[in-house]
Amino acid sequence: MKNTHINPIPFSLPDIGSEEIAEVVDTLKSGWLTTGPKVKKFEENFVDFLGQNTHAISVNSATAGLHLALEALGIKEGDEVIVPSLTFTASAGVVRHMGAEVKLIDINPITLNMDYNTIKASISKKTKAIIVVHYAGLACDMDEILQLAKSFGIKVIEDAAHALSASYKGRAIGLLESDVTVFSFYANKTMTTGEGGMVVTQDPFIAKRIKVMRLHGIDRDAFDRFRSIKSSWYYEVISAGFKYNMTDIAASIGIHQLQKLPKFLEIRKKIASRYLSELSNLPIILPSDKNNNGVHAWHLFVIRLNQKSKISRDELIHYLSEKNIGTSVHYKPLHLQPYWRDRYKLTSDMFPETDKAYQAMISIPLYTLMTDEQQDYIISELHNAFK
Ligand SMILES: *Cc1c(COP(=O)(O)O)cnc(C)c1O
């Protein structure tokens, strides 16, 4: 389903093929719509994809997955969790759902990721966890962060919503020594299930707790234990759980998206490398190619204006929009969002690098269905914008 028109160019577009559609139809006809055989298959395929034995628990969003991760790690009122200011509000909102407080921190101006020094400086006696965000799909310096967390006895959750396909020092994101990693299958992510997410952990106890809490606090092991003796209606509720399970309809899409993920990554890499070379002489800062011997997932391609740009970020967005090119900004930082700003009395001078990056940044289109002609057009309009 290639888009044959050059114009308009959306910011993002899901890449859904006939395989996904046929699988969804098969599920709709099967008589089983909610969590069932397709979810089980999708979870098994996900473990195979990562390539190492681990636990993969599907959920109906990454936000749900992050919430479950914090719950399983016992984060509670009085605790503090470190989160970068340059992220989507979901990374931080879940901390408040547990009654804990968010410690927002500044970013590294080169990678746009949180780094060792800023994390270390913000650790207090109350710090119980760090939510690491691999911004745009570039892995954070995980060896340093994990070692720091270990030395302070702090848990690490990776918000890998941008980072499915990414790796760090040759190891896939999802297989590092953090406590939990959460991926997103939202419509514009590197693969989609419409809405959905996957929680990955090596810890069998955390996996068990997340499985129970994603579906009403129902203990499936008890269900299985009594199934033979009593009958299949029997279950035990061991906690006040959530309704965060994935449906077989969503998993049907996921099964095929996952198979296509290596191909998607190759296309994303190719688009990114063309942008990197063909935009290199413009008065802009291109994404860091620092990759720690890993792979950038290229969920986003974020450019930043510099002092020589002459036009403002908003003028550039307006110019591109007039040319029918969709763009976005990732993100208006949390310290500037009313809720977070007011709750923690945050000011811009506390986040100099995040603030500066935000004022200058724009995300340009990067999606697998983009044609070469469309990319040519975007590149030439970016050149025109700076003339
Ligand atoms: C998309 C996103 C989320 C939320 O993912 P959902 O699946 O929509 O809940 C969380 N964190 C970051 C950094 C994201 O980009």
Domain assignments of the chain as residue spans, ordered by start: 18-258, 262-385
CB distance 209 to 239 below 8 Å = no
Contact of 316 with 363, CB cutoff 8 Å: no
Q: Which of 61, 67, 86, 88 gets mutated to test ligand 1 (max ligand atoms within 8 A of its CB)?
A: 88
Does the beta carbon of 113 sit less than 6 angstroms from any atom of ligand 1? no
pLDDT per residue as tens, the chain (387 positions): 444 557 799 999 999 999 999 999 999 999 999 999 999 999 999 999 999 999 999 999 999 999 999 999 999 999 999 999 999 999 999 999 999 999 999 999 999 999 999 999 999 999 999 999 999 999 999 999 999 999 999 999 999 999 999 999 999 999 999 999 999 999 999 999 999 999 999 999 999 999 999 999 998 766 565 556 556 778 899 999 999 999 999 999 999 999 999 999 999 999 999 999 999 999 999 999 777 789 999 999 999 999 899 999 999 999 999 999 999 999 999 999 999 999 999 999 999 999 999 999 999 999 999 999 999 999 999 999 999
> Ligand 1, closest atom to CA 90?
10
Q: Which of 120, 137, 141, 107 is nearest to 356 (CA)?
A: 107
| Residues 6 or more apart in contact with residue 18 via CB below 8 angstroms | none
What is the H or E stretch that residue 201 is in?
strand 197-201
Ligand 1 centroid, distance to 317 Cα (angstroms) = 23
CATH 3.90.1150.10 is held by the domain 262-385: yes
Q: Is the Cβ atom of 127 under 6 angstroms away from ligand 1?
A: no
Pocket perturbation via mutation, ligand 1, pick of 58, 85, 91 by most ligand atoms within 8 A of CB: 91
90 lines ligand 1 (CB under 6 A): yes
Identity of the residue numbered 54: T
Tell me the one-letter amino acid at 270: K
Active site (catalytic) residues: 189
| Cα 287–Cα 63–Cα 172 angle in degrees, nearest 5 | 50
Q: How far apart are CA 97 and CA 92, in angstroms?
A: 9
User: Taking the model in full, what pTM does it have?
Assistant: 0.96
User: Per-residue DSSP letters for 182-215?
Assistant: EEE-BTTSSS--BS-EEEEES-HHHHHHHHHHTB
The reply to whether ligand 1 has any atom less than 6 angstroms from the CB of 91 is yes
| CATH number 3.40.190.10 given to 18-258 | no
* 8 A C-beta contact, residue 326 and residue 196: no
The HSE-up count of residue 361 (CA atoms within 13 Å, CB side) is 22
The helix (run of H) or strand (run of E) holding residue 184 is: strand 180-184
Check if 62 has its Cβ closer than 6 Å to any atom of ligand 1: yes
From the CB of 133, is ligand 1 less than 6 Å away?
yes
CA–CA distance, 149 with 156 (Å, rounded to integer): 7
Q: Which atom of ligand 1 is nearest to the CA of 63?
A: 9
